[in-house]
Amino acid sequence: MTPIGQIFAQPSLYQVMNTVLTTASPVDVTALKAELANSPFTRLPRFTSLLHRDPMSGQEHWRRTRVIIEDHVKVIDDCSQIGDVNDYLADLAVSCPLPTNKPLWEIHVLPAHSYTIIIRTHHALADGLSMMSLLQSFGCTKSQPAENVKRKPTNAMNDEKKLPIIVWDFFNMIWFTFIYAVELIMRLLVKDDETMLKGGDGVELWPRKLATASFLIEDMKAVKTSVLPNATINDVMLGIVSLGLSLYMHLSSPGVREGTRITAFTMANLRSTSGIPDITDLVTGDSETWWGNKVGFLLHPIRICKPGETDPVQHLKAAQAAMNKKKISKVAHLSHLFLNMARTLFSPKLSAWLFYRAACNTTLLFSNTMGPTREIYMAGNLVTSIKASATGSPQAVTIHAVSYVGKVEMQVLVAKDIVPDPDVLAKCFEEALQNLKKATMHG
């Protein structure tokens, strides 16, 4: 079991990922089961193993078992009363843990919503990128070449830099790593400002509501090209979150204090490749590309500003500036190492407590995962959209974004007693991108 996977396996940090696939035509359950039987779901070690906890040592490990497809595919016949798929997912978030007497994954098919497949996986099995790789192999493309996966630039590729620049880059890396490492440690003690969005200890058990915001990648690229050509789509996403939260908070509570600072607990992929690796490379690859939870954690500051008095583009510029410093540092790798050391030297329970305590003291969780760039098919059925969310976080607001063939679907999962109107929040995020587009057109 990977270090972070063992942390997610702790009862105090029960995390389940729900991946929703919308198809172009009704789901043929028989064909789906047949394809599952010959897919990585029945071959990958973690998907064919039980999570076993030693009663003496308390240590978790995987124990191989036989996968019975019928036990993992659930046809939800009584879902006709469900308002929509998001309502069903919100109910699953707090009321339906995965059974431990079989491998920790399930597939739900909703006949009343005949174009929907929900894949539920325990976070101990995989991270978001691993799941996208699995989807890409399971829902194989028709007559399309494989994804182009490239290794991220490394210091070895910067040999042409002059010595003073190399020294300066090294100094910046050490300095920013130190600053952000201290920030992470202090987050165990220092809380965000109390706002209408703040969750905390035990909030992961509160009833949930879920809403979806949709974006065109073409619009995001237009914004970043006009303002910050070196920005990434992730920078634009963080700018959208910052501006959208400002719009929502001033709409819901006009008296919110100007300059209120909140923090997003963000997930960072630590693999050395960009794009979605082939599943074979993930399973058999080296420590840089392995399957599982190869993620680190970052704290991203968000400043709440009054709409109309601040240029929307400033949210994007602030997001890029903050993330650039985080990228210079090694704090994401350090967070992974720190949790692993606590797990090894003390116990996985301590690592899970540290993760949970830091999350409790932040306002929201944010994750942005690259999905397939080409259409995929499930049992011969075209997948038209991919959405993802994860349950079990103590923040009152969790945001998970997944891109797929030119579109980004953002799932906004909230504790409904704290944020009763996630649909309004999702609309604020969509409005934020449009405001950024208008600002860049007139800039």
Q: Given this model, what pLDDT does residue 352 score?
A: 92
Report residue 275's pLDDT band, with 50, 70 and 90 as the boundaries: confident
Q: What is the share, in percent, of the chain residues with pLDDT greater than 70?
A: 89
pLDDT (tens digit, 9 = 90+) per residue, 17-66? 999 999 999 889 999 999 999 888 888 888 999 988 877 766 788 899 99
Rg (CA), the chain: 21
H, E, C per residue of the chain: CCHHHHHHCCHHHCCEEEEEEEECCCCCHHHHHHHHHCCHHHCCCHHHEEEEECCCCCCEEEEECCCCHHHHEEECCCHHHCCCHHHHHHHHHHHCCCCCCCCCEEEEECHHHCCEEEEEEECCCCCHHHHHHHHHHHCCCCCCCCCCCEECCCHHHHCCCCHHHHHHHHHHHHHHHHHHHHHHHHCCCCCCCCCCCCCCCCHHHCCEEEEEEEEEHHHHHHHHHHHCCCCCHHHHHHHHHHHHHHHHHHHHCCCCCCCCEEEEEEEEECCCEECCCCHHHHHHCCCCCCCCCCEEEEEEEEECCCECCECHHHHHHHHHHHHHHHHHCCHHHHHHHHHHHHHHHCCHHHHHHHHHHHHHCCCEEEEEECCCCCCCEECCEEEEEEEEEEECCCCCEEEEEEEECCEEEEEEEEECCCCCCHHHHHHHHHHHHHHHHHHHHCC
Encoded amino acid at 84, one letter: D
Q: What's the CATH fold of domain 163-367+406-442? A: Chloramphenicol Acetyltransferase (3.30.559)
Query: Which of these CATH numbers, 3.40.50.12160, 2.40.50.100, 3.30.559.10, 1.10.3720.10, describes 3-137?
Result: 3.30.559.10
Task: Return the residue matching tokens 């076993």.
Answer: 52
Over residues 302-307, mean pLDDT: 84
pLDDT of 280 reads 72
Return the structure tokens found at 381.
């059925």
Helix (H, G, I), strand (E, B) or coil at 429: helix
Integer Cα distance of 34 and 28 in angstroms? 10
* Among 145-159, 160-174, 360-374, the least confident range: 145-159
Domain span(s) for CATH 3.30.559.10 in the chain: 3-137
Angle at 181 between CA 178 and CA 183, to 5 degrees: 110
Q: What is the DSSP letter of 373?
A: S
**Statement: residue 379 has pLDDT above 60:** yes
Higher pLDDT, 348 or 95: 348
pTM of the model as a whole: 0.90
